[in-house]
Amino acid sequence: MRTEQTEDKPTHNLTRRRLLLGAAPLVGAGIASAAGASVQTAPGRAAEHAGAGKMATHGAGGGHAALRGREVDHRANNFDPHALVRDFDYGKTRRLASGRVLREWELFATEQEIEIAPGIKFAAWSYNGRVPGPTLRAREGERLRITFRNASRHPHTIHFHGIHPAEMDGVPGAGDGQIPPGGSTVYEFDALPAGLHLYHCHVRPLAEHIAKGLYGAFIIDPKQERAEADELVMVLNGFDTNFDRANEFYAANTIPFAYMDRPIQVKRNELIRIYLVNVLEYDLINSFHLHGNLFEYYPTGTMRAPTEFTDVITQCQGQRGVLEWRFPTPGKFMFHAHQSEFTELGWQGFFEVSG
């Protein structure tokens, strides 16, 4: 009687701070889904719907601890962070009469419900059916052509970071501007400069269009190749599941705790290179912290000399950089945001070093 108020509690009272305090039932209080059709507000119904009846809904110790050890349906999502972390999309190439390489991709925007944590659905907008979108990878100086089709019910664009003509900038008011539902356009420009960039939708309200999932990493390899390495991509993101413009979930590559439950496998003494991009919306900064080791950091990946040798780097939204290091000893080493709130709400993982 005295505590059973959950039925009538407005969902916007379920903030991430209450989650962190362990004061709020996780699944039962209405954050179970951001999809209008399946928003759950009653604890019993939510648990039933999500198949989460057996789950401890009170995050013991705060955060989403109760979600640990359970996996989302990666097949239904159409992407798996364990595959995505080493998945680079080189598109299709052909040589132009000039001898130059033309590299082409086809991207489409769509709407899809993704399971971001066991039983917790989010009505995402995505490029090519995944969040983050494909990691586009080209070489410095090539000609790039991206055909974009909008297969969703809202106008979208692709805005690339890098050097390109104004009409290829993918913003309303320049070039083809925003692409209406069913519409398409072609973005074409040179792959410049070498470095780690990103792309995202640039239609207003901008925060929503990005936070829904329309973003991805964009790598331009330098003409003079980087050293051979075990290469990984991590797009740091979060999800506002109750529309209060604050995130309830944080991750590297969308699924909270994915690399805690199944660590990223790496080899002792092998050079590891992470392409790290922060697209987190609603929070001013994000960070990456490595345990038991330090890494060299190349901001934006544009210079060949590292600017730091550290174990924590901080990125504002849109910032990105390349990390390099080797593990001299085997074992399990954590990596996570050094904002503890983000860590507890999902942005943490393990490297498992073998050999």
Binding site for Cu ion (CB under 5 A): 156, 201, 203, 209
Identify which of residues 21 and 207 has a Cβ nearer to Cu ion in the complex. Answer: 207
Identify which of residues 99 and 205 has a Cβ nearer to Cu ion in the complex. Answer: 205
d(CA 305, CA 319): 18
106, 174, 300 from 305: Cα distances, Å? 34, 36, 12
d(CA 94, CA 300): 28
Identify which of residues 130 and 209 has a Cβ nearer to Cu ion in the complex. Answer: 209
Identify which of residues 47 and 201 has a Cβ nearer to Cu ion in the complex. Answer: 201
CB 209 within 8 A of CB 60: no
Shortest Å distance, C-beta 109 to Cu ion: 7
Shortest Å distance, C-beta 150 to Cu ion: 9
Shortest Å distance, C-beta 214 to Cu ion: 5
| DSSP H helices in the chain | 16-20, 43-50, 74-77, 81-84, 206-211, 258-261, 340-344
Give Cβ neighbours of residue 83 (< 8 Å, ≥ 6 apart): none
Closest CA to 281 of 225, 200, 350, 346: 200
Considering only the C-alpha atoms of the chain, give the largest distance between any 2 of them, rounded to a whole number of Å: 78
d(CA 95, CA 76): 37
Identify which of residues 125 and 325 has a Cβ nearer to Cu ion in the complex. Answer: 125
CB 156 within 8 A of CB 203: yes
d(CA 230, CA 123): 33
Identify which of residues 198 and 201 has a Cβ nearer to Cu ion in the complex. Answer: 201
d(CA 123, CA 33): 8
Shortest Å distance, C-beta 238 to Cu ion: 17
Question: Tokens 């990493």, residue?
Answer: 217
Shortest Å distance, C-beta 16 to Cu ion: 24
d(CA 242, CA 254): 17
d(CA 322, CA 102): 26
Beta bridge partners of 303: none
Beta bridge partners of 32: none
SS3 93: strand
Identify which of residues 199 and 288 has a Cβ nearer to Cu ion in the complex. Answer: 199
Shortest Å distance, C-beta 129 to Cu ion: 15
Identify which of residues 109 and 272 has a Cβ nearer to Cu ion in the complex. Answer: 109
Identify which of residues 155 and 256 has a Cβ nearer to Cu ion in the complex. Answer: 155
Shortest Å distance, C-beta 209 to Cu ion: 3
Shortest Å distance, C-beta 201 to Cu ion: 3
Shortest Å distance, C-beta 151 to Cu ion: 12
